[in-house]
C-alpha cells in the first residue's frame, strides 16, 4: 500500500475477504455497485422524469459564455528563445505569422536568460526529467532544498516550502490553517486572487470579506469578533487587474492591535520590487511584519512553481498537514534548478528591475497622451479600460490579426462587468520599436472603433 495513502489503511482488516472489488470498495477507492450515483433526472411539463441530457447542459453553459462575449479563446504561440517578446502565432487554419506578446507574465524576460537555461540543462542532464515522487516519498532532491533556501533568504524568513504553483500554495495553505488554529477567523480582501478565495472558502472556518483596501472596514470586522479568537488577515501586495498596491503597514498595524497573523500574496511583486527582488514588503522594509509570504517562480522569475515563506515552525506545520502539498508530485529537478538560478541572479540585478519600471512608465505616459482610459496606480501593470466584453474581444482580435500584437482580453468574472479591459505587461525586453508599433496600433483602433478617450482616474 502506498505510504502516502494512510486513509486506506483503516479499512483493510482482511482485504481479500470478499474478493478484490469488495476490498477496493472498503478502501474507498471504488464505490460498491449499490452506491453508484444514478443518472440525474429532470421533470417534464407532464410531471414525468427523464434523464438529464449532459451534452445539452454543456451546450447551454458554453453558449452563455459565447452570448455574453466571455468565451475564452486560446492563442497558440511559440516563443523564440533569445528573441522574446517575439513569437510565432499558429492560426486555426495552420498558417503562421510573427507576433509581439504584450500580455505575458514573464515580466523580466528571465524565461530566456542564459543563467536560467544553463542551470536547467545541467540539472536535466544530471537528474533526468521528473522528480520521481511526492516530497514525502523520494521526490525531495538537493535541487528542491537549494531552491527553498534561496526563497527563505529572499524573504528574510527561517524557511520556505515549494509547491507546484502559487495557486496551489495559496489554496493549500489557507485551507489548512484552520486545522492548525481551531476557530481561526480569516479576513480576506475583496479583490484577493481566486486561489486565495478558494482556499478561504474550502477551509470550513469563519471568514470575513473586507472592502478592497478599506482598513476602516477591516477594523470594524475585527472589532466585532471575539478578541480571544485566532485571526488571520489575507491580502496582496500588488493586485494584478488594477495594478494597485495593498496597504501593508496599515493592515499590519491592525494585525498587531488585534493579535492577528498576516498572510500576503507577493506573486505580482517578487523579482520586480525591492533591492533584491523580495517584493513590495522588501522595498518598504516591512517583511518582518508578515507571518506568511506567498510567491511564484512563474512570473518575474520566468520558470514555474509557487511557494510560501515563513517561520520554520509554520512551514513545518503546513508541510505536515496540507494535502495539496503532501499528495502532489514535486517539481522536476530541472525546474527547481532554473528557479533557484533565476532568484539568485535577480537578487543582484537591480538594473533589470529599473529598466522594467522605466518601460512601464514610458508606456503609461504614451497611452495617457492618447487619452486612453488608463488605470495607473504606479505599478508595472498597465490596464486600459474598454468597458464592454464584445468590444474588448474585438480590439484584441484586431490587434492580433491586423498588427501582430497579442494582448488577451480580460473580462468578467476576472474583473467586474463594465470594467472589461486590455491589460498590457511591458518588460525590459520590449524595446522602443515594439512600443512605438503598439502606440500607433492603439491610436488607430481607438479612432476606428470610436471608443472613449476620456482618461480614467487612477
Which is catalytic among the residues 157, 207, 231, 299?
299
pLDDT score, position 41? 58
- CA–CA separation, 205 and 231 (whole Å): 11
The answer to the question of residue 25 being in a domain is no
Residues 234 and 336 in one domain: yes
Domain count, the chain: 2
Residue with cell 524565461: 111
pLDDT score, position 43? 60
Range of the domain at 219: 113-347
Q: What is the pTM of this model?
A: 0.87
The answer to the question of residue 154 being in a domain is yes
Residues 137 and 232 in one domain: yes
pLDDT score, position 6? 40
pLDDT score, position 300? 98
R_g (Cα) of the chain, nearest Å: 25
Joined together, the cell numbers standing for residue 199 give 482556499
The answer to the question of residue 33 being in a domain is no
CATH of the domain at 418: 3.90.1150.10
pLDDT score, position 22? 45
**Cα-based distances in Å from 164 to 106, 382, 410, 447:** 17, 28, 25, 44
Residues 335 and 188 in one domain: yes
Residues 361 and 439 in one domain: yes
Residues 164 and 257 in one domain: yes
CATH of the domain at 279: 3.40.640.10
Joined together, the cell numbers standing for residue 174 give 489557507
pLDDT score, position 9? 37
pLDDT score, position 448? 82
The answer to the question of residue 41 being in a domain is no
pLDDT score, position 16? 38
Residues 232 and 315 in one domain: yes
pLDDT score, position 449? 77
pLDDT score, position 276? 99
The answer to the question of residue 3 being in a domain is no
pLDDT score, position 451? 67
pLDDT score, position 107? 98
Residues 371 and 417 in one domain: yes
Q: What is the mean pLDDT of each run of 10 residues along the chain (458 residues)?
A: 40 40 42 47 64 91 91 92 96 96 97 98 98 97 99 99 98 97 98 95 92 99 98 98 96 99 99 99 98 99 99 99 97 99 99 98 96 94 93 94 96 91 96 97 88 50
Residues 306 and 360 in one domain: no
Domain boundary among 331, 347, 363: 347
Residues 83 and 101 in one domain: yes
List for the chain the helix, strand, coil content (%; round to 5): 40, 15, 40
**Range list of β-strands (E), 164-283:** 185-189, 206-210, 231-236, 260-265
Q: Reply yes or no on whether 299 is catalytic.
A: yes
Residues 168 and 94 in one domain: no
Amino acid at each position: 500500500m502506498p505510504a502516502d495513502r494512510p486513509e486506506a489503511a483503516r479499512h483493510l482488516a482482511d482485504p481479500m475477504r470478499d474478493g478484490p472489488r469488495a476490498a477496493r470498495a472498503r478502501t474507498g477507492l471504488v464505490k460498491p455497485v449499490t452506491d453508484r450515483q444514478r443518472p440525474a433526472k429532470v421533470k417534464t411539463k407532464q410531471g414525468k422524469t427523464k434523464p438529464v441530457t449532459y451534452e445539452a447542459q454543456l451546450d447551454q453553459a458554453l453558449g452563455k459564455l459565447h452570448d455574453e462575449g466571455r468565451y475564452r479563446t486560446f492563442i497558440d504561440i511559440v516563443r523564440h528563445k533569445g528573441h522574446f517578446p517575439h513569437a510565432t502565432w499558429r492560426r486555426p487554419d495552420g498558417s503562421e505569422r510573427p507576433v509581439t506578446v504584450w500580455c505575458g507574465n514573464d515580466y523580466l524576460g528571465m524565461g530566456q536568460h542564459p543563467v536560467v537555461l544553463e542551470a536547467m540543462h545541467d540539472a536535466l542532464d544530471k537528474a533526468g526529467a521528473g522528480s520521481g515522487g511526492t516530497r514525502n516519498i523520494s521526490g525531495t532532491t538537493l535541487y528542491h532544498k537549494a531552491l527553498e533556501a534561496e526563497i527563505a533568504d529572499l524573504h528574510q524568513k527561517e524557511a520556505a516550502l515549494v509547491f507546484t504553483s502559487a495557486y496551489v500554495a495559496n489554496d493549500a495553505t489557507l485551507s489548512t490553517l484552520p486545522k492548525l488554529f481551531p476557530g481561526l477567523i480569516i479576513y480576506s480582501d475583496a479583490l484577493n486572487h481566486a486561489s486565495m478565495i478558494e482556499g478561504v472558502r474550502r477551509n470550513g472556518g469563519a471568514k470575513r470579506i473586507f472592502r478592497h483596501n478599506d482598513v476602516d472596514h477591516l477594523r470594524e470586522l475585527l472589532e466585532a469578533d471575539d478578541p480571544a479568537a485566532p485571526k488571520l488577515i489575507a491580502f496582496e501586495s500588488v493586485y494584478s487587474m488594477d495594478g494597485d498596491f495593498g496597504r501593508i503597514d496599515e493592515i499590519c498595524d491592525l494585525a498587531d492591535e488585534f493579535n492577528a497573523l498576516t498572510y500576503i500574496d507577493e506573486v505580482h511583486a517578487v523579482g520586480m520590487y525591492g533591492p533584491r527582488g523580495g517584493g513590495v514588503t522588501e522595498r518598504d522594509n516591512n517583511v518582518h511584519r508578515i507571518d506568511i509570504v506567498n510567491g511564484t517562480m512563474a512570473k518575474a522569475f520566468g520558470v514555474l512553481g509557487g511557494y510560501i515563506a515563513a517561520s520554520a515552525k509554520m512551514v513545518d506545520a503546513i508541510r505536515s498537514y496540507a494535502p495539496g502539498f503532501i499528495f502532489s508530485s514535486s517539481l522536476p529537478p530541472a525546474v527547481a534548478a532554473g528557479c533557484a538560478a533565476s532568484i539568485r541572479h535577480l537578487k543582484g540585478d537591480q538594473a533589470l528591475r529599473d529598466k522594467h519600471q522605466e518601460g512601464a512608465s514610458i508606456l503609461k505616459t504614451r497611452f495617457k497622451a492618447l487619452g486612453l482610459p488608463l488605470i495607473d496606480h504606479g505599478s508595472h501593470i498597465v490596464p486600459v479600460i474598454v468597458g464592454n466584453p464584445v468590444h474588448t474581444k474585438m480590439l484584441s482580435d484586431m490587434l492580433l490579426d491586423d498588427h501582430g500584437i497579442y494582448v488577451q482580453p480580460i473580462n468578467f468574472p476576472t474583473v467586474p462587468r463594465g470594467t472589461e479591459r486590455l491589460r498590457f505587461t511591458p518588460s525590459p525586453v520590449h524595446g522602443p520599436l515594439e512600443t512605438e508599433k503598439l502606440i500607433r496600433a492603439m491610436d488607430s483602433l481607438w479612432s476606428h472603433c470610436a471608443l472613449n478617450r476620456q482618461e480614467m482616474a487612477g
